Chains A and B, each alone.
Chain A
Amino acid sequence: MKKIFLTIAACALMLSITDVFAQETKIRFFGQPEISQTSSNEKNYFGGVSPAGKYIKKDTTYHSKTNFNNGNFVLFVTSQLSERASVLSEVSFNNSGKTFNFEVQRLMLRYYVKDYFSIRFGKMFTPIGYWNNQFTLGLVLQPTIQRPSAIRPISEGGVLQYRDTGIQLEGDNISPARAFYRVMIGNGIGYYGSNDKGDNHIAVTGQLGAEPVDGLKISGSAMFDRIEKGKSNPNGSIAALPNNGNLNLFVASVAYMNPEKKPELIAELLTQTSKFDNIGSRSSHSYYIYGGYKVTDKITPYALLNYVQAGKSTTESDPYFAPLPVKGTQFNLGVRYKFSSNLICKFEYEVNSTKLFYQDITVGSVKLDDAFTNTTNTNKVRVQLAFAF
């Protein structure tokens, strides 16, 4: 399988190289190797009543590891086919342990009609929020080592439909407020362009925003999709969703990223409601705040606070994300050093706390097991060298 993928990739690359001069094709590779040192402790808090009375029991285990990770290797090809038509492909290669992954992240054609109207067709990032569309998997462009957890790639545990195959209508710089819009219709959860859909359902995603001041983008996005019984969530952490239902996602974004100015800010709030036919509505939400300050042209210290809550409370889960209620808080403090636009080094210290809330197990009126909380605290030091050539 690996050989087939490599052969296909090599052929595609050779074909595209032969067209370099004919169609103004640009090919670039992005690499992002990483070194990380992780220490974590996992605590289980058990509490309940036994024949001997009330009890509280704590179990703690420690782990520590140092890891050299070669990260994603990303191949970008863009080409201007005509005055108005251009294409883009983004392909990632990754070997994690002994497994090898090859994935077409994006493959799209964009046709520019007017300043206020363009059409994209193919596989692309869904227009939710700022980060998802602004920063690709070529991490030279991304301000931090990793994406905020809610919009991570599926290979890194992400659960949202952060990209889809379909058609997008879009327009930018409308009126002096520089308003913009995106409307995408796509296959939806669980389908990435293969021909295995059995009905006419489509997912609709829309975004409206404005850039009233250069670099300041404010937007709101909404995604309406269905949850199909028996399908897994995008990253497969829920093997089969329990029943049919609907999924609504709303994202509010504010970003100030102006290369001429020193401060950088991105803040996004994502809330999702999963409505299942059998158990009713369940909700989850996540927010993150990124802030940076360019001390010089080359050095930018930054911080990222990221919170995720799957399930409304400690007792009610959202089966779209996880079988148990989960809460996670992550704080990253880092510094970015820009050797050039094609070579960037990022150094980060990360503190992460994840809580899983296990529920009482009862059969009829008999309680078989008590509820308990599993808490994992992780401290991580990471260095990433992101480059493009």
Chain B
Amino acid sequence: MLFVTLTAFAPAPTEIAVIVNKENTISKLSSGEVKLYWLRKIKKRWPDLNKNIKPADRKSKCAEQDAFYSKVLSMSASDVETYFTQKQYESAEKPQDKFASDADIINFVSEEAGAIGFVNAASLTAEAKTKVKVVLIVQ
């Protein structure tokens, strides 16, 4: 009985959608590929698109960021911050852009051809789906 009650009130796990701009020729990415692109680890520019990869992040700690960092990047928030800071001060590389909400990330990704971001899958309304392309869903 207690188990049923606890299960009923437990928060549903956050389902994350990784999105890119509609112009991007890539249609699907694995979790490992998203990590490499989002961290700009191997490629700095999208193949075929000829645009800089522009990772979009959330400004402050939230369930979507926690889920993306732990399930896709396998890194803590401070490690992600240190990673981009190090790249910035070693090679003058631009760090990730940060946004306050899913709606802001969707707008950014729809406007910037090279953008890649993550949002709560529930935030992807029918209208939002016309603006961006989903390349990965993380449960």
A and B, one complex?
A: yes
The interface of chain A, by Cβ under 8 A from chain B, is 24, 26, 76, 78, 80, 83-84, 86-88, 90, 108-110, 112, 115, 133-134, 136, 138, 140-141, 173, 178, 259-260, 297, 338, 340-342, 388
In the complex, the answer to whether A141 meets B86 with C-beta atoms within 8 Å is yes
The closest CB in chain B to the CB of A137 belongs to B89
Known A-B contacts A178-B42, A341-B82; A141 and B92 likewise in contact (beta carbons under 8 Å) = no
User: Do residues A173 and B75 form an inter-chain contact, with CB atoms below 8 A?
Assistant: no
Q: Are A259 and B88 closer than 8 Å at their CB atoms? A: no
Q: Indicate if the CB atoms of B94 and A24 lie closer than 8 Å.
A: yes
Bound together, the chains give a CA A170 to CA B34 distance in angstroms of 25
Q: How many Å lie between the Cα of A140 and that of B79 in the bound state?
A: 12
CB atoms of B90 and A134 under 8 A apart = yes
Q: How many residues from B make CB contacts under 8 Å with A?
A: 26
Asked if B45 and A260 make an inter-chain contact with CB atoms under 8 angstroms apart, the answer reads: no
User: Contact: A110 with B92, CB < 8 Å?
Assistant: yes
Cβ contacts under 8 Å, A110 to chain B: 91-92
- Tell me the smallest distance from the CB of A54 to a CB of chain B, in Å: 57
Task: Verify B92–A88 contact, CB threshold 8 A.
Answer: yes
Q: Enumerate chain A residues within 8 angstroms of B74, measured Cβ to Cβ.
A: 260
Nearest CB in chain B: distance from A91 CB, A = 13
Look across to chain A and name the residue whose beta carbon is closest to the beta carbon of B50.
Answer: A83
Report the bound CA distance from A342 to B77 in whole Å: 12
B78 partner residues in chain A, CB cutoff 8 A: 297, 338, 340-341
Q: Which B residues fall within an 8 A CB radius of A?
A: 41-45, 51-52, 74-79, 81-83, 85-86, 88-95
From B43, B51, B76, give the contact of A83 (CB < 8 A): B51
**B95: which A residues are within 8 A, CB to CB?**
26
Asked if residues A259 and B79 are in contact (CB atoms below 8 Å), the reply is yes
Minimum CB–CB distance from B86 to chain A (whole Å) comes to 6
A78 engages B89 (CB within 8 Å): yes
Give Cα A324 to B90, complex, Å: 36
A115 neighbours in B (Cβ, 8 Å): 42-45
Please state if B92 and A78 are interface contacts (CB–CB under 8 Å): yes
Bound form: Cα–Cα A133–B90 in Å: 7
How far is B89's CA from A134's CA once the two chains are assembled, in angstroms? 9
- The complex places the Cα of A335 from the Cα of B41 at a distance, in Å, of 29
Cα-based distance from A342 to B85 in the complex (angstroms): 10
Residues of A within 8 A of B44 (CB): 112, 115
Whole-angstrom CA separation of A340 from B93 in the bound complex? 21
Closest chain B residue, CB of each to CB of A88: B92
Q: Are B94 and A259 in contact (CB under 8 A)?
A: no
Closest to B95 in A: A26
- Interface contact B82-A259, CB-CB below 8 Å: yes
Contacts of A78 in B (CB 8 A): 88-89, 92, 94
* 22 examples of A-B residue contacts, CB within 8 angstroms: A26-B88, A78-B89, A78-B92, A80-B94, A84-B52, A86-B93, A87-B92, A88-B89, A108-B92, A112-B44, A115-B42, A115-B43, A134-B90, A138-B89, A140-B85, A259-B79, A260-B75, A260-B79, A297-B79, A338-B78, A340-B78, A388-B85
Instruction: Give chain B residues whose Cβ lies under 8 Å from the Cβ of A173.
Output: 41-43
Q: Within 8 Å CB of B94, what residues of A?
A: 24, 26, 78, 80, 86
Residue among B43, B81, B92 making CB contact with A86, cutoff 8 Å: B92
- Identify the closest chain A residue to B84 (Cβ): A341
B89 touches A90 (CB 8 A): yes
